[in-house]
Structure 1
């Protein structure tokens, strides 16, 4: 018989590892059309927000090398 090394205060805790229930849980209910539509709209909104963030964020993070060359050209004409 399997014995635990540490002391267990209650017998049912010690036997919990090998206990199997014969009661099956009730089947999950399917989501209604309204719930599916709501979940898909939320997913599309999140994906659109992330896409918009990338579209506006990447140009803002890129280094503008043409701006630096314009400053140098204007200083050279002075």
Structure 2
């Protein structure tokens, strides 16, 4: 049964891989001033938001060194 396989047309797929078109794609459009300004503004807004959240979040993340000393509560001072 080794010799009874149907032939597979590999030549068609090999020719399709090697095919190159002679049609050039159209040139890319250059973005206008409005689109470029919009991209810059969006990037600047994202960076400003990240920096602002970092600045506002730093006090919450910092460890208060003055509160690490043991303090007595008012109830324990009365006894």
TM over 0.5: yes
1:39 aligned partner:
39
Count residues in correspondence: 67
Unaligned 5+ runs, structure 2: 1-7
1:22 matched to 2:22: yes
- 1:6-63 deviation per Cα after TM superposition (whole angstroms, max 9, x unaligned): x678x3x443322222211111111111111111110110010111111122321222
* Structure whose CA Rg is larger: 2
The list of structure 1 runs, each at least 4 consecutive aligned residues, that deviate by more than 3 angstroms after superposition, is none
In structure 2, what is the equivalent of residue 75 of structure 1? 72
**TM value normalised by structure 2:** 0.65
Question: What is the aligned-residue RMSD (CA, Å)?
Answer: 2.6
TM-score norm. by structure 1 comes to 0.65
Q: Quick one: structure 1 residues 32 and 66, their matched pair in 2 at CA, closer, same or farther if it must change by over 3 Å?
A: same
Bigger fraction of residues in helix? 1
Compare relative contact order (CA 8 Å, sep 6+) and give the higher one, 1 or 2: 1
